[in-house]
Amino acid sequence: MTGVALALLAVLLAWAAPSALARAAWVERSPRAGVVLWQALALAAVLAAIGAALAAPEEALRAWTGSVELGVGLLIAAGCAAVLAGVIVIRLVWVTVRLGLRTRRRRARHAQLLGLLDSPDPTDRRMQVLAGPVPMAYCLPGRSQKVVVTDAALALLNAAEVDAVIEHERAHLRARHDLVLEAFTALHASFPRFARSRLALDAVHRLLEMLADDGAAGRADPAALSSALAKLGSTAENETIRARRTRLDRGRPGHRQLAGAGAYLVAVAVLALPTMVLVEPWLQAAVAAISS
């Protein structure tokens, strides 16, 4: 029943667990540990799926013949297991490579357009100014890392708020949050639609924004960043912005280290679970062979 257990575990980790974790407010006390926990869930789901593919053919042979002995049947079962596991791994690699190429092409085109449309700010070389009626700021990762701010945003924000927004975007660039989100998106997309949850991607994006807020808070005024979020998000206020502003206004949350340690321990346990389920029957067989 190892294959069935691992298949159920893969679905649980990819679909049911994200629903519960997305509602857990304690994860936001330590966003970095929260991101690690989400990544562990996704990776463990992939490992469980690979384990199910490896175990299922042998178990099917055992159920059909009543035993597993060296012969044609076992070779066929081993071949099927290799093919099934290979399909999962190849799909993951294919999705990752395709996503990476698309993302980098899109960024290259964006950088070219910015080179034509934007202009460096003579008073602050940390940012590029883009003419536009919508007040917004964002960063462009990659080789030509840029922080882009529209002139509408500059007209709306005061100097302290502009500085806080720039530091927030620079925190994204320093920590390469784009790579974290890209890797998680690839793991998410490698699962069939029925067995994955959009909640996971949204939660990781939210935690990365909070991580960048924490990075900016060490270099700029947290109150200024909170007020900038209120101004820039006034036309599209949402739950994430409200949660980020609450964190900034309250300061560093209590029990931060405890929450982080708990998240790391859960991440290790989640990764260990499918591995132990898969390895345990082989360990039993090895112990029996040694003791006999």
Looking at residue 135, its pLDDT comes to: 92
Mean model confidence pLDDT for the chain: 80
All residues at 6 or more sequence positions from 261 whose CB lies less than 8 Å from its CB, including other chains: 33
pLDDT digits (tens, 9 = 90+) for 247-279: 898 876 555 677 778 788 888 888 887 777 666
Looking at residue 236, its pLDDT comes to: 47
> Of the candidates 192, 200, 10, 179, which has an alpha carbon nearest to the alpha carbon of residue 92?
192
pLDDT at 95 over 60: yes
Under 8 Å between Cβ of 146 and 128: yes
pLDDT at 187 over 60: yes
d(CA 151, CA 161): 14
pLDDT digits (tens, 9 = 90+) for 66-87: 555 545 555 565 566 667 677 7
Looking at residue 70, its pLDDT comes to: 46
Q: List the alpha helices (DSSP H) in 66-191.
A: 72-117, 151-156, 159-175, 177-189
The helix (H) or strand (E) run that includes residue 145 is: none
Segment among 121-125, 128-132, 222-226, 286-290 with least mean pLDDT? 286-290
225 — pLDDT class (breaks 50, 70, 90): very high
Task: Compare 53 and 282 and report the one with higher pLDDT.
Answer: 53
Looking at residue 212, its pLDDT comes to: 95
pLDDT at 92 over 80: yes
Task: Compare 144 and 102 and report the one with higher pLDDT.
Answer: 102
23 φ, ψ (degrees, to nearest 5)? -90, -5
pTM of the model: 0.81
Segment among 45-54, 85-94, 118-127, 174-183 with least mean pLDDT? 118-127
Looking at residue 286, its pLDDT comes to: 47
